[in-house]
Structure 1
C-alpha cells in the first residue's frame, strides 16, 4: 500500500510540544483510506498532538477551556480543517496569541461542522471554546443515576465520531495523535482518563477548592480513544499492571469479577506480542454506559451488566484487552473497515479465553457467535444482502464482530495455528501505531503468509470474505459440548416438556442465552407464565437473561412482564440489551408501539445521547411502517 510518511513529506514545518515524544503516524492515501466521516484534509495539514486544558462544570453541564494543537502542514499550506460539533468557539490564535482567521461551516447531522483555520505559517493553534450541554459524547449523570446516589458523574464515549463535540481536532481513526490534558473538577470528585496519570490518584488541590488532574498519552492514537470520567471514584489494584476504578458500592464486586485480568494480559502477550501501553486499568461505569466495554487505552470502560458474580461475562474484559493490539495498536483507517478492529478482536478474545479456561470454554463463545452471525446475516439480507459485507457502510450490527472473527478462524484452520499465530504476531508488530485498510491487510497477508501458494490462496476466498455478501462455504462452525446439552433440554421444552425439567442451576450466562434465544417464538400465556414463574426470568438479577426473556415476552404480548420491562428500560442503558426490546415492541402494532414511546419518554434522560438517538431511530422507522 502506498502511504505518505508525514514526517518525511512534511518535514520541518511543525515544532512538537514537550509531551509529544512519538513520531507522527503515517497517513494512508489510497482511495479505500478516504474517510467520508471527517471534514479534515490531512494531506494538506494534520494534527499531531492535542493539549487540553478544561474546566468541568456540572452546574452548566459544559467543559470550558482550550485546546492547543500541534500542526504538521505541507509547505505553504493555507489552512487546516478540523472537525467540531456544536462547540462554542471564543477565539483561535497561534501559540504567541496572534489571532487567526477561522470559520465554522454548516452543521451536518452526522458529521458536525468543518472548522477551517487560516494557518499563516502557524505550527501551533490555540482554540478557546466551550462544549454545549447536549454534547453527544458526554453523559452527565445526576446522583440518583449513580451507584453511590450522592454525587454526580460524567463520562465520555467518543467512538465513532462523537469526540468532536468536546475536542476540536481531526476526528478520524486514520489521523493518529498524541495528547495530554489537564482537567479541573469539583474537589470531592476524581477524574480519570485513557492515559498516564501525572498528578496522582487524588489530583492536585487548587485554591478555589477544586482539584486538577493531569494526564499524558505519548503514543499516537486515533482521537476516538481520548476518554475521561469524573465521579466519586475509588481504586482497587488487581496486580502490578492492573486495577479497577468504580464507585464504592461496586468496588468489591468488580475486583472479584475481574480478578483474572493479569492472567489475561500475560496470555495475550504470549499470543501476539508484548502489551505496549504500560498499565491496563478498568473503569466500571454506572448502568447508563451504552456499550459492553470501550477499549480506551490504559483505562477500559466497562458496563456493570457484566458483573454477574460468576465471572461468566469476563469475555468482555478479554475483548477490550485484545483491542490493545487490534484497534488501538493497528486501527481501521476508516469506519468502513471497522471489522479490522472488531473481527480481529473477537477472534483474539476467543484465543485469550482458550488460553486461560480451555478449549470448551472458548467453544461456548464461538458457538454462540456462530448463532449471532447466522441471525445477523439473515436480518441483513442473507447471501446477497449488502449489510452482510465486512468492507462497507459502518453500523452493520454484529457482522463485523462475528463474520470478521470467523474469517480469521477459517484462515487459522486452513494454514495451521502455528503459522497463523506467527503471522499475526508479526502483523501487529510491523503495523504498530498505524492505520490499516482491508486492502492493506489482504496485501500484507498475501505477501507475508501466502506468497508462492496460489492454490492455498484460492481456497481461502479472501476477496469473497472481505468484499462479498453472505457467508462463504468454508466458514468454520465450532461446536460446544456444553451448549449441546442445553440444546437437548431446549428441544424437550419446545416439544412441550415442563419448564421444571430444564433445571438451569449452575448455568452460565451463555447457557441461559442459548436456551432463551432458542425457544419457539410463539408461546401461549400459560406457557410463558410457567417459564417465568419456574425460572424466575422477569425478576432475574442478570441483565442478559432479562433482555432475552423480554424479547420472547414482547413477541407474545405477555402483559405480566411489562412492569418488569418498564423498570429494566429505565435502569439499563447498554444498547446491545435495549435495542432489541424497542425493536420488538415496534413490531407489535399499537400494543407495543405505545409502550415503546412511553418507556422511551420516561427513560430517555437515563440514556447516553448515542443510545437515545439509536432508540429514536428505531421508533421513527417503526412509525413509518405503521
Structure 2
C-alpha cells in the first residue's frame, strides 16, 4: 500500500500547480483585476485596445512582468498614475510564435516586494490575426445588415485578444468599456451590462455618426479563457425569470421557443449540486461558423445553431454549459493537462440534470454509450500515432509542453473523466458522492485545482466521514485504479458498457442490418420511434462496425430512413462520415450533400471527422472553398488534419 501511495504522489508531482502553456511569470505576480477598453472598427476588422491591470506581487523581489501575447501590435506600456512609459520587448521563438504566441517582457524600472500592488496600462491593436476572434462580413450573417464579431478564448487564445496571464491558474475580476462605430451594433460580454448609451463621434473617422458605448463588469473571479464578447445586430429575449436567449433577429423567435425551459434546466442542476451564484443566465446562438457546440462563458454561454433541432433534442448542450457554472467556471482546472477537472465533472453533473429532464435514466445511459463509442475510437486513433504527445491525448493528463493546448482537446476529458467519476460514485455510493462533490465545490470555490487536489480532498473527506474499515476498503478500490485512469494511454481500467433497455433494441437493430447485408430487417421501422440520442447510438455503432457495413447496407439504410434528408446535424455528420468510410459517398449526389454540409456548419466536432475521412485532394479543395467561412480555430484544426494526410494513389 505504501508503494502504491508513493507511486501515485510521484506521478502527481508532474502536473501539480504548473501550467506549461503560459509564458507569464504568474508564480511571481498575479492579476487581480483587468479593465478593458475597446474601440471596435468592424468594417476594417480592427480593434484599438487599452487594458489597465491591477497586479499583486507574490515574489520577494520583482523587476519584470511577463505576459502572454499572440500576433498583436503593442503600442505603449506605462504607469497610469504618473504616465511613466516603461521599456518592453517581445521574446519569441519561430515555432512557438505560431503554436502559442510570444512572451511580452515589461521592465518595471524598480524593484517590488512581496505583497505590493502594481497598476499598469497597455495600449495595443489587434485584427484578423487574433486567433480568438471571428470577424464576419454582413453577407455572412443571418440578418445581413452589419458586420459581426465573436470570440472563442478557450484554451489559451485570449492572449490574441488581450495581453495577459493566459492561464487557468490565475483568476481575476474584470470590467470593460466597448465603443462601436455603428449604431446598429449591439454588444454583450461575459459580465453584467451596466450601460448602453449612444453618442456622437467627433473624431475625423465617421465624424458626426451616432455610435454606441457599452459598459460591463464581472465581480466573480474568472480565468482569462472565460472573457467573451459578441457584437452584431443581436438582441435579447427572455426565456424565464433568470434566463434569456440572444441572437440575430431572423431566427430569435425559433431559438426562444426551443430554449423556453432554460429556467427548468437551471433548477434541475441546482437540485443536485446547490445554488446558482452567477445571477442571470443567457445563451447566445451564434452563427454556424462557431467552432464548438457550446462555450460556457459566465452569464453569456455561446452555442452553435446545430443545437436547435426543433424537437429540443439538442438541448443537452445547454444543460452541459449550465453545468459548467459549477464545474469549470467555479472550480477550474489549473492547467490544460487537467481539462477533465472541467469537462469530466461537467458531464457528470449534466447527466444528473438530464436524468430529471428525460425522466428515464436509461436514456441518459444512451448518451454515455454514444460518448463511450467515440472515446474508444479516439483512444485507438491516438495510440496508433508514433508521436508520444499524441498518444498522451488518450489519457486524462495529455502532454502539452511547447504545444498548442487546443491540439489535445477531444472527447477524452469529457467521457473518460465522466467514467472515472461514475466509478468513484459506485464505490462511495450515490448519496455520499453527491455530498462529497458539494464539499469539493465549497472548498475550492472560485479557485483552480488539478487531479491531485481532487484526489487528496476526496481521500480526506472519506476518512472524516466513514468508519475506519469502510474507509480503508473504498480507498483501496480507488487507489488500485485512480492513477491508471488519469495517466495511462489505454482503455480505462474498468470497462463500463452502460447497457440498458433503451439501447438494447438499438444495438439489436444494428446487428440485424449487418446480418441482412442490405435486406431491411423485419422491424426496421422502429428506428423512426427512437429518440435522437438512440439514433446517434445507432449511427456511432455502425461507425464502430464500419468494416462490416457494405454499400448495399448503406443504400438500403438511406432508402429506409432518408437520413441525409434529416435536419439534425448530430445525425447528419455521423451519417456523412460513415458514407465516406464505407465508400457509399463515391457518387456525386452523395458527395455534393456532404460538401454542402461542411460549407454550412463550422462546428469542429462535426466537420473534423468528415475531413479526416476524405482523401487529401478532396479535403484540400473543400477546405479552400470554405476557409473564409470557418473560425480561426476550425481552420487551424482542418489544416492540421490535411497536413497529416498522404496523397492517395
The reply to whether TM is greater than 0.5 is yes
Q: CA deviation at 1:32?
A: 2.0
Q: Check conservation: 2:374, 2:540, Cα contact below 8 A.
A: no
Q: How many residues align?
A: 591
User: What residue is the counterpart of 2:598 in the other structure?
Assistant: 569
Q: Check conservation: 1:388, 1:396, Cα contact below 8 A.
A: no
Where 2:591 maps in the other structure, the secondary structure is: helix
User: What residue is the counterpart of 1:100 in the other structure?
Assistant: 86
Q: Check conservation: 1:47, 1:71, Cα contact below 8 A.
A: yes
Q: CA deviation at 1:312?
A: 1.1
Q: Check conservation: 1:173, 1:223, Cα contact below 8 A.
A: yes
In structure 2, the gaps of 5 or more residues are: 1-11, 111-116, 202-208, 400-404
Q: Check conservation: 1:366, 1:479, Cα contact below 8 A.
A: no
User: Superposed, which structure 2 residues align to 1:260-409 within 5 Å?
Assistant: 260-358=261-359, 359-381=361-383, 386-393=392-399, 395=408, 397-409=410-422
Q: Check conservation: 1:539, 1:564, Cα contact below 8 A.
A: no
User: What residue is the counterpart of 2:54 in the other structure?
Assistant: 70
* Partner Cα distance (1:437, 1:128) in 2: 34
Q: CA deviation at 1:29?
A: 11
User: What residue is the counterpart of 1:505 in the other structure?
Assistant: 528
User: What residue is the counterpart of 1:190 in the other structure?
Assistant: 186
User: What residue is the counterpart of 2:499 in the other structure?
Assistant: 479
Where 2:177 maps in the other structure, the secondary structure is: strand
Where 1:103 maps in the other structure, the secondary structure is: strand
User: Superposed, which structure 2 residues align to 1:162-177 within 5 Å?
Assistant: 162-177=157-172
Q: Check conservation: 2:617, 2:647, Cα contact below 8 A.
A: no
Q: CA deviation at 1:475?
A: 4.2
* Partner Cα distance (2:417, 2:647) in 1: 32
Where 1:82 maps in the other structure, the secondary structure is: strand
User: Superposed, which structure 2 residues align to 1:179-218 within 5 Å?
Assistant: 179-185=174-180, 186-200=182-196, 203-207=197-201, 208-218=209-219
User: Superposed, which structure 2 residues align to 1:80-119 within 5 Å?
Assistant: 80-96=65-81, 97-107=83-93, 108=96, 109-119=98-108
Match of 1:492 among 512, 529, 532: 512
Q: CA deviation at 1:146?
A: 1.8
Greater CA drift, 561-570 or 367-376: 367-376
User: What residue is the counterpart of 2:220 in the other structure?
Assistant: 219
Residue by residue, what CA displacement relative to the aligned partner does 1:324-377 show, whole Å, maximum 9, x if unpaired?
Answer: 111100110000000100101011100011123222332221222222232222
Greater CA drift, 255-264 or 384-393: 384-393
Alpha-carbon distance change, 250 to 413 in structure 1, aligned in 2, over 3 angstroms? same
Where 2:183 maps in the other structure, the secondary structure is: coil
Alpha-carbon distance change, 597 to 91 in structure 1, aligned in 2, over 3 angstroms? same
* Partner Cα distance (1:550, 1:481) in 2: 28
User: Superposed, which structure 2 residues align to 1:449-468 within 5 Å?
Assistant: 449-450=462-463, 452=468, 453-460=471-478, 461-468=481-488
2:464 aligned with 1:446: no
Q: CA deviation at 1:235?
A: 1.1
* Partner Cα distance (2:580, 2:357) in 1: 38
* Partner Cα distance (2:71, 2:640) in 1: 21
Q: Check conservation: 2:514, 2:553, Cα contact below 8 A.
A: no
Greater CA drift, 190-199 or 250-259: 250-259
Q: Check conservation: 1:84, 1:167, Cα contact below 8 A.
A: yes
Q: CA deviation at 1:399?
A: 1.1
Q: Check conservation: 1:500, 1:534, Cα contact below 8 A.
A: no
* Partner Cα distance (1:79, 1:216) in 2: 28
User: What residue is the counterpart of 2:450 in the other structure?
Assistant: 437
* Partner Cα distance (1:291, 1:309) in 2: 19
Q: CA deviation at 1:110?
A: 1.7
Q: Check conservation: 1:290, 1:575, Cα contact below 8 A.
A: yes
User: What residue is the counterpart of 2:402 in the other structure?
Assistant: none
Q: CA deviation at 1:540?
A: 2.3
2:85 aligned with 1:79: no
User: What residue is the counterpart of 1:23 in the other structure?
Assistant: none
Q: Check conservation: 1:177, 1:222, Cα contact below 8 A.
A: yes
Alpha-carbon distance change, 212 to 499 in structure 1, aligned in 2, over 3 angstroms? farther
Alpha-carbon distance change, 357 to 226 in structure 1, aligned in 2, over 3 angstroms? same
Q: Check conservation: 2:65, 2:107, Cα contact below 8 A.
A: yes
Q: Name the TM-score, length of structure 2 as normaliser.
A: 0.87
Q: Name the TM-score, length of structure 1 as normaliser.
A: 0.90
Where 1:39 maps in the other structure, the secondary structure is: coil
Where 1:388 maps in the other structure, the secondary structure is: coil
* Partner Cα distance (1:473, 1:214) in 2: 50
Q: Check conservation: 1:512, 1:545, Cα contact below 8 A.
A: yes
Alpha-carbon distance change, 188 to 499 in structure 1, aligned in 2, over 3 angstroms? farther
Residue by residue, what CA displacement relative to the aligned partner does 1:565-594 show, whole Å, maximum 9, x if unpaired?
Answer: 111111100000000000011xxxxxx221
Match of 1:133 among 115, 128, 134: 128
Where 1:512 maps in the other structure, the secondary structure is: helix
Q: CA deviation at 1:195?
A: 0.6
User: What residue is the counterpart of 2:113 in the other structure?
Assistant: none
* Partner Cα distance (1:321, 1:413) in 2: 25
Q: Check conservation: 2:366, 2:537, Cα contact below 8 A.
A: no
Alpha-carbon distance change, 526 to 150 in structure 1, aligned in 2, over 3 angstroms? farther
Residue by residue, what CA displacement relative to the aligned partner does 1:161-191 show, whole Å, maximum 9, x if unpaired?
Answer: 1111111111000011111111112210110
* Partner Cα distance (1:374, 1:216) in 2: 42
User: What residue is the counterpart of 1:123 in the other structure?
Assistant: 118
Q: Check conservation: 2:77, 2:85, Cα contact below 8 A.
A: yes
Greater CA drift, 519-528 or 67-76: 519-528
Coordinate RMSD, CA, aligned: 2.2
* Partner Cα distance (2:109, 2:321) in 1: 42
Q: Check conservation: 1:499, 1:534, Cα contact below 8 A.
A: no
Where 1:622 maps in the other structure, the secondary structure is: coil
